[in-house]
Amino acid sequence: MNLHIAAQINSFLAALVLLTAFGMLTQKRIYGLIHLFAWQGLFLSLNTAVVGFVAGKHHLYISSVLTLSLKVVLLPYILHVLINRLRIRKEVETVVNIPMTMMIGIALVIFSYHLTAPIRELSTLITRSTLAIALATVMIGLLMMITRRHAVTQIIGFLALENGLFFAATSATYGMPLVVELGVALDVLIAAFIFGIFFFHIHTAFDSLDVEQMAKLKESD
Amino acid sequence: MNFYPFISEILQIGIVLSIAPAFAGWVRMVKCWFQGRTSPSLFQPYRDIRKLFAKDVVLAENASWIFRFTPYLVFGTTVLAGGIIPMLTTDLPLSAAADVIVLVALFAIARFFTALAGMDIGTAFGGMGSSREMTIASLAEPAMLMAIFTISLAARSTSLSQIVQVMYSGQSVLRPSIAFAFLAFVLISLAETGRIPVDNPSTHLELTMIHEAMILEYSGRHLALIEWAGMMKLTLFMALGAVLFFPWGIDVSGSASGGVFAFFFLLLKLAASGVILVLIETGLAKMRLFRLTEFLGSAFLMATLGMLSFFILE
C-alpha cells in the first residue's frame, strides 16, 4: 500500500467521521443516535489503524482495538441498557431547530478549518489535513451538548466530543503515548458508569431526563 | 469538416426521446415486481403517450396563452437539456455551448412555467401544487448548485464534457468531496424528479400530490408532452448521475464503435439506476411536507460538506 492511497483512505475515513458527527447533530431518535455513535467509533478505530500502519507506530494498533471494543461495543451497549431500563422512547427534543443547527455546524467546520490552517502549513505528517475535521468533530460534539435538552443525548454529545479529541491527537502527533491513552479510555469508561448512576438518580428525582426541569431546584411548598 | 459530433448530437437527442418512456416503464415494472404485483408491459408508456396525442384538448374558458404555451416550453427545454448532457460521447457540440449551470437553469425555466400554468386556470389544486412545487424548488436548487459546484471544483471546469473527461481519467477513486456530492445528488434527484419521499408520482390524492396537482387541468397532446417531458427528466437525472459519478464506458475518443459500446453501457447503467431508484422508493414512505426542509436541508449539508472537504482534505 503506497503512501498516496493510504492518505486517501485516511481522509475518506475522516470525512465519514465528520458525516457521522453531522448525522448525530441532526438525528432525532435516540436509538439512531447511539447507532451513529457506534459508527463514528468504528470509522475512528479504522482510521487509527491506517495511521498506525502508515506511520509505523505500533501502539496505535492497541488504541485502535481499544476504541473498537470501548466505543463501538461497550459504550453503545451500556447506553442501550440504560435506555431500556429507563424506558426512554420519545423523540429527542432540541432547543434550536434542526436546519439551523446544521448551518451552525457548517459554520463551525469553516471556523476550525481557518483555525488549523497555520498548523497545516507547519506540519509534515500525512494526517495534517484531518486535524481540521478533528477539531470540527470536537466543536460539533459541544454544539450537540448545548442544543439538546435530554441528559442522555448530552452524554452522547460528550462522548462524540471525546472521539474528536482522540482523533485530533492521532492526526496532530500520531497519537498520545499509550499510557495516556489507556488512562483516557479508563476515564471514559468510568465516566459512562457514573453517568448511568446519575441518570437513575435524576430519573427517580424528576421522573424525566429533561435537564430543563433541573432549573428549578427549590422545592415548591 | 468533421460531421461526426453533429451526428452523435442528433442521435443522442433521438435516443433520449425514444428511451425515456421505456425507462419510465422499466421503473414501474421493477416496482411492480418488488410489490408482488403483475406489471404492465415495458412499452405501456408509449401506448399512453400515443393515446393522449390522439385525444382532443379540453381547455378551460379562462386559460391564457401561458397555459397553452407551457407544455411546448417544458418539452423543449427538456429536449435541450438532453442535448447538453454527454451521455454517449464527450465530444458534443451543444455541450460546449452550455455548461452545467445552464442545465440547472433549463430545468428551473420548465418548473417556473409549470407553476405559472398551474395557477393560470385558477383552480384550487393548481395553486396549491404550484406553491408546494416552489417551496421544494427554493430548497432543492441551492443544494443542486452546491453539489454541482463541488464537482466543478474537483474537475476545475463547469463544462459537463470536461467534468466527465476528468472523472473518466479516474483520480476520483476515494475522494470524499465526490462521495458527498454524490449523496447530495441522489437526494436532490429524488426531489427534482418527484419520487417517493418527496412526491408520489402514481397517485392523484389531493392532500399529497405536488406535480400532479399543477398539471391536473391538462389533457390531450398537452398532457402527452408534459408526461413525456417528465419521463425524459427522470431519465436525464439518472443518466447525469451515471455519467458524472460512474463514467465507465463513455466514449472519449469519438469513434463510431466507441459510441455503440457507450450506448450499451448507458442502457446497463440506466437499468441499474432504475432498480436502485425502486429500492429507495419501496424502502421509504412519503414524507410529510413539513419534514421536507430537513430532507433537502441534509442534501444541502452534504453538498456543502463536499465542498468543504475539497478544501480541507484534498
- On the question of pLDDT at A218 being above 70, the answer is no
Residues of B in contact with A99 (CB under 8 A): 293-294, 297
DSSP 8-state symbol, B175: -
- Dihedral sign of CA atoms B300, B302, B305, B306 in order: negative
Residue B221 is predicted with a pLDDT of 94
* Distance, CA of A215 to CA of A211 (rounded, Å): 7
DSSP state letters, B197-215? TT--TT---TTT-SHHHHT
Section B44-71 average pLDDT: 93
The C-alpha cell at B191 is 426531489
DSSP 8-state symbol, B291: G
Residue B96 is predicted with a pLDDT of 80
**Chain B touched by A100 (CB under 8 Å):** no
- pLDDT tens, residue by residue, A39-57: 999 999 999 999 988 888 8
| Helices A98-122 + A3-26 axis angle, to 10 | 150
- pLDDT tens, residue by residue, A118-136: 888 888 887 888 899 999 9
Q: Is the ipTM of this complex over 0.90?
A: no
- pLDDT tens, residue by residue, B147-183: 999 999 988 888 988 888 888 887 656 788 888 999 9
Section A145-174 average pLDDT: 89
The letter for the amino acid at B271 is: A
Section B138-149 average pLDDT: 93
* Structural domains in chain B (count): 1
Residues making up chain B, counted from first to last: 314
Q: Which domain, by its residues, includes B24?
A: 4-313
Residue whose cell numbers read 498548523:
A119
Distance (Å) from the alpha carbon of A178 to chain B's nearest alpha carbon: 27
Q: Which of B171, B287, B296, B309 to mutate to test the interface with A (most CBs of A within 10 A)?
A: B309
Residues of A in contact with B173 (CB under 8 A): 8
Q: How many CA atoms are closer than 13 Å to the CA of B314, on its beta-carbon side?
A: 23
Residue B306 is predicted with a pLDDT of 92
Q: What percent of chain B stands above pLDDT 90?
A: 59
| Helices A75-86 + A178-206 axis angle, to 10 | 0
- Pick A14's closest partner by Cβ from B173, B311, B313: B313
Q: What percent of chain A stands above pLDDT 90?
A: 36
* Distance, CA of B57 to CA of B69 (rounded, Å): 13
Asked if B167 and B244 count as a contact pair (C-beta separation under 8 A), the reply is: yes
DSSP 8-state symbol, A72: I
Q: What confidence category does residue B107 fall into, taking pLDDT thresholds of 50, 70 and 90?
A: very high
* Distance, CA of B44 to CA of B40 (rounded, Å): 6
Distance (Å) from the alpha carbon of B181 to chain A's nearest alpha carbon: 12
Residue whose cell numbers read 500500500:
A1
Distance (Å) from the alpha carbon of B175 to chain A's nearest alpha carbon: 7
Beta-ladder partners of B251: B89
Q: How many CA atoms are closer than 13 Å to the CA of B210, on its beta-carbon side?
A: 24
- Neighbouring CB atoms inside 10 A of A69's CB total 14
For residue B5, what are the CA distances in angstroms to B2, B63, B84?
Answer: 7, 42, 13
The letter for the amino acid at A51 is: V
Q: What confidence category does residue B1 fall into, taking pLDDT thresholds of 50, 70 and 90?
A: low
Tell me whether residues B313 and A19 touch, CB distance under 8 A. no
Section A199-213 average pLDDT: 79
Domain spans of chain A? 3-215
- On the question of pLDDT at A89 being above 70, the answer is no
Q: Look at residues B309, B293, B266, B307 and name the one whose alpha carbon lies nearest to residue B148.
A: B307
Distance (Å) from the alpha carbon of B295 to chain A's nearest alpha carbon: 10
Per-chain mean pLDDT for chain B: 90
A218: left (phi over 0), alpha (psi -120 to 50) or beta: beta
**Chain B touched by A75 (CB under 8 Å):** no
- pLDDT tens, residue by residue, B217-275: 999 999 999 999 999 999 999 999 998 888 888 887 767 788 888 899 999 999 999 99
Question: pTM for this structure?
Answer: 0.90
